[in-house]
Amino acid sequence: MKTVLITGAGGYIGCRLVDYLQNKGYKIKALDRFFFGKERLQSILKNSQVEVIEEDIRFFDPEILKDVDVVIDLAALSNDPAGELDPVKTWSINYLGRFRVATLAKPMGVKRYVFPSSCSVYGFQEGVVSENSPVNPLTTYAKANYKAEVDIKRLADKNYCVVILRFATVYGYSPRMRFDLAINGMVRGFFKNGKIPILRDGTQYRPFVHVMDVCKAIHLAMEADDEKVNGEVFNVGSNEQNVQIFELAQRVANAIGVEFNYEWYGLPDHRSYRVNFSKIKEVLNFHPDYTIEDGAREVYEALKSGKLDPDDPATITVEWYKRLISEGVMV
């Protein structure tokens, strides 16, 4: 049985990934500081195949990496607004912290390190970008991700397989829910206010991927032959889910069966990019199992049933971090 260390295991993707990989038969070490609470994560905390480690990637004892086969390094301040709260802190976690994990893992005998990055490194681009396109990171979050990509990739050799995954914008239900992601936020906006909030001016393109398809892609990257993935970068998503924001809002409304009422918010968004996902399809045979409509309906049903609380303050990442900082929590 392989042992997998998942950092950021209590996060939006992390808690879904813990369950996904545990169900595949892996032994899991779940490392997180659990800033967003533990009460939502009982399936993780009560699972005998999951070792819960309440630690910080910047400071943990390297012995935690002993007997680990694969590291999935999800721990990060997880979006652009949160990254701008304290840029120095963002660099210390998203770049230095994860570079530390990757560097420590190698001499500890870890065989594979998977680095979850973001398609936000493409910033603003004309046309369709691929893994070979120039990047244009516009925010602290994107710049720290790209710097980590570059330096961690240099650690790869025949005994240490490094894989870089650039995720599209993620959507779908998670016990550690995020309503600051486009599709999830649109569903919440209609549920609460009868309107879909749309970030101006609506023409910007984004690629999208369901959280469970992210888990599927990570699993494929974990198990692929070294010669296919070592030192490689893969965009994670599908060509069919490159969508302009205004069209996205219309599709969300149609999916959940509501009238398309909307309101504008924010300043015009200068991040716009369409992404080619052919490489992961061809090399790893990755095909998404979920559509945008599937994700919208899933979140809407969770709200209607009470499974999700639309007013849970922890579901808006930047606001929750502001609250933690005001309470004196050392992020």
Query: Cα separation of 33 and 12, whole Å?
Result: 13
How high is the pLDDT of residue 214?
98
What are the phi and psi torsion angles at 330 (to 5°)? -80, 105
Confidence of residue 159 (pLDDT cuts 50, 70, 90): very high
Place of tokens 């990637």: 57
pLDDT greater than 90 at residue 269: no
User: What is the crossing angle of helices 182-193 and 292-305, to 10°?
Assistant: 40
User: Which range, of 6-15, 26-35, 269-278, averages the lowest pLDDT?
Assistant: 269-278
Query: Cα separation of 124 and 279, whole Å?
Result: 21
Give per-residue pLDDT as tens, 72-123: 999 998 876 666 768 888 999 999 999 999 999 999 999 999 999 999 999 9
Mean pLDDT of 135-139: 92
Query: Cα separation of 264 and 237, whole Å?
Result: 27
Q: Among residues 173, 172, 159, 41, which one has the least CA distance to residue 108?
A: 159
Q: Which helix (H) or strand (E) holds 233?
A: strand 232-236
Query: What 8-state DSSP symbol labels residue 94?
Result: I
Give per-residue pLDDT as tens, 199-252: 888 999 999 999 999 999 999 999 999 999 999 999 999 999 999 999 999 999
What are the phi and psi torsion angles at 183 (to 5°)? -65, -45
Confidence of residue 268 (pLDDT cuts 50, 70, 90): confident
- B/e letters for 261-272, b = 16+ CB within 10 Å, e = fewer, are ebeeeeeebebb
Confidence of residue 40 (pLDDT cuts 50, 70, 90): low
User: How many C-beta neighbours within 10 Å does residue 329 have?
Assistant: 11
How high is the pLDDT of residue 254?
96
Which of 30-44, 210-224, 315-329 is the most confident on average? Answer: 210-224
How high is the pLDDT of residue 317?
77
Mean pLDDT of 161-185: 96
Sheet containing strand 27-32, strands side by side: 50-54, 27-32, 3-7, 70-73, 112-118, 161-167, 232-236
Query: Cα separation of 233 and 72, whole Å?
Result: 15
User: Which range, of 32-36, 81-85, 288-292, averages the lowest pLDDT?
Assistant: 81-85
* Sign of torsion over alpha carbons 90, 117, 229, 110: positive
**What is the widest separation between alpha-carbon atoms in the chain?**
57
pLDDT greater than 90 at residue 331: no
Q: What is the mean pLDDT of the chain?
A: 92
3-326 has CATH 3.40.50.720 classification: yes
Report the DSSP pairing between strands 205-210 and 242-244.
antiparallel
pLDDT greater than 80 at residue 45: no
Confidence of residue 64 (pLDDT cuts 50, 70, 90): very high
How high is the pLDDT of residue 263?
86
How high is the pLDDT of residue 54?
94
pTM of the model: 0.94
Domain residue spans of the chain: 3-326
In the three-class reduction of DSSP (H, G, I as helix; E, B as strand; rest coil), residue 271 is classed as: coil
